[in-house]
């Protein structure tokens, strides 16, 4: 019983440590940690790294079997000169401090480290943590699998060098940022995402739920018949109200950017500052389509309202 284990959070912290370990097996009571990696971020910017192989017990110099070597690339020769867990854990403990930990299926890592911290340091690992697997399950309950490889495939990330802790930390961070980007694309913000869960809804406002309140339209209006998509948090009104404006003008709301999209309306993407280029997935896709020659315009929120008021 890990009574002092930290809490599993559904949260979007700006300051955190991404953590991953490799082990000889799946059970903390029987198996051993052979490598640990961690990357510390403040305001989305990397400030430090921790990485170390760890030599597990062995009577004959065979520390791991061929399966672990094939999976991770770690060899018995590499572990022969690795430091002991007694020398690595104090440094890791100091590195982690009281930071929130982010990881994929991170309960596995936390449980291994908790038991080893208690055995060798005589203190628990009590850091709260965010599991990107849990985040993905809440965002995409329709998906069957939420393994790190599944998320990498979803977000077009190179998974070929996975199963070494630092690389897995980098992939996990990319998945975390993409999950936040998706949440902001579907919901107004992370709080709205959390509120939708308490309402037993797995989605934010959807285009199919918005219907025009009018039966006659000005067919010369610039939004009439145009496909509109929103991303980010709008400053002036809730996204649902902005989508209603589009519908009342004879426009077509859509949830994702496609080749049929005419306008992408940008809300506040402050949360995206930690993501490469500081842009949501929708904006990145719209920019690519525009470069490919598609008839799509990317509008700031203020320009959208100017367009709404056009005569």
Tens digit of pLDDT for each residue in 62-111? 999 999 999 899 999 999 999 999 999 999 999 999 999 999 999 999 99
Q: Is the pLDDT of residue 233 over 90?
A: no
Judgement on whether residues 30 and 90 belong to the same structural domain of the protein: yes
**Confidence band (pLDDT; 50, 70, 90) for 125?**
very high
Judgement on whether residues 114 and 15 belong to the same structural domain of the protein: yes
Judgement on whether residues 175 and 214 belong to the same structural domain of the protein: no
Check residue 276 and give its pLDDT.
54
Residue 61 in any domain: the answer is yes
* Chain centroid offset of residue 140 CA: 12
Judgement on whether residues 169 and 24 belong to the same structural domain of the protein: yes
CATH number at residue 293: 3.40.50.10190
Judgement on whether residues 238 and 298 belong to the same structural domain of the protein: yes
Q: Is the pLDDT of residue 203 over 50?
A: no
Judgement on whether residues 31 and 178 belong to the same structural domain of the protein: yes
Question: Could you tell me the two tokens for 36?
Answer: 């640990």
Percent with pLDDT over 90 in the chain: 65
Phi-psi region of 215 (alpha: psi -120 to 50; beta: other; left: phi over 0): alpha
Residue 36 has phi, psi (to 5 degrees) of -135, 140
Check residue 204 and give its pLDDT.
63
Return d(Cα 242, Cα 266) in angstroms, integer. 12
Judgement on whether residues 15 and 68 belong to the same structural domain of the protein: yes
Among 30-34, 73-77, 271-275, the range scoring the smallest mean pLDDT is 271-275
Check residue 169 and give its pLDDT.
98
Residue 196 in any domain: the answer is no
Residue 250 in any domain: the answer is yes
Q: Are the CB atoms for 170 and 39 separated by under 8 Å?
A: yes
Judgement on whether residues 50 and 164 belong to the same structural domain of the protein: yes
CATH number at residue 112: 3.30.420.10
Q: Is the pLDDT of residue 171 over 60?
A: yes
Q: How far apart are the first and last CA of the chain?
A: 68
Residue 160 in any domain: the answer is yes
Check residue 189 and give its pLDDT.
83
Judgement on whether residues 167 and 263 belong to the same structural domain of the protein: no
Question: In sequence order, what are the residues at sequence separation of 6 or more whose Cβ sits closer than 8 angstroms to the Cβ of residue 191?
Answer: none
- What pTM does this model have? 0.71
Question: In sequence order, what are the residues at sequence separation of 6 or more whose Cβ sits closer than 8 angstroms to the Cβ of residue 23?
Answer: 31, 32, 33, 34, 112
Task: Supply the range of the domain harboring residue 56.
Answer: 8-186
Judgement on whether residues 119 and 211 belong to the same structural domain of the protein: no
pLDDT tens, 11-25? 999 999 999 999 998
Residue 191 in any domain: the answer is no
Question: Could you tell me the two tokens for 249?
Answer: 């003008």
Judgement on whether residues 135 and 214 belong to the same structural domain of the protein: no
Mean pLDDT value of segment 32-45: 96
Q: Name which residue leads in pLDDT, 117 or 309.
A: 117
Q: Is the pLDDT of residue 198 over 80?
A: no
Residue 192 in any domain: the answer is no
Judgement on whether residues 165 and 30 belong to the same structural domain of the protein: yes
Number of domains in the chain: 2
Check residue 76 and give its pLDDT.
97
């Amino acid at each position: 019983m890990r009574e002092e284990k930290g809490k599993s959070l559904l949260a979007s912290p700006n300051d955190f440590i991404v953590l991953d370990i490799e082990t000889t097996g799946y059970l903390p009571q029987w198996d051993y940690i052979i490598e640990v990696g961690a990357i510390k971020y403040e305001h989305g910017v990397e400030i430090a790294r921790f990485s170390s192989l760890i030599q597990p017990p062995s009577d004959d110099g065979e520390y791991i079997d061929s399966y672990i070597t094939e999976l991770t690339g770690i060899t018995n020769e590499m572990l022969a000169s690795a430091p002991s867990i007694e020398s690595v854990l104090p440094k890791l403990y100091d590195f982690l401090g009281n930071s929130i930990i982010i990881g994929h299926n991170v309960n596995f890592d936390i449980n291994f480290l908790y038991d080893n911290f208690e055995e060798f340091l005589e203190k628990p690992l009590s850091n709260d943590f965010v599991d990107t697997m849990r985040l993905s399950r809440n965002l995409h309950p329709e998906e069957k699998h939420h393994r790190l490889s599944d998320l990498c495939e979803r977000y077009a990330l190179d998974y070929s060098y996975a199963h070494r802790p630092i690389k897995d930390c980098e992939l996990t961070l990319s998945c975390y940022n993409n999950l936040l980007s998706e949440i902001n694309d579907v919901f107004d913000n992370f709080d709205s995402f959390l509120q939708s869960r308490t309402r037993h809804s797995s989605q934010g406002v959807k285009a199919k739920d918005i219907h025009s309140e009018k039966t006659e339209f000005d067919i010369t209006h610039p939004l009439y018949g145009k496909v509109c998509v929103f991303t980010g948090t709008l400053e002036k009104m809730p996204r649902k109200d902005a989508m209603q404006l589009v519908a009342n003008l004879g426009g077509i709301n859509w949830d994702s950017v496609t080749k049929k999209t005419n306008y992408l309306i940008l809300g506040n993407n402050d949360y995206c500052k930690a993501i490469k280029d500081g842009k949501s997935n929708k904006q990145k896709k719209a920019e690519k389509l525009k470069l490919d020659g598609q008839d799509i315009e990317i509008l700031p929120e203020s320009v959208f309202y100017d367009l709404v008021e056009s005569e």
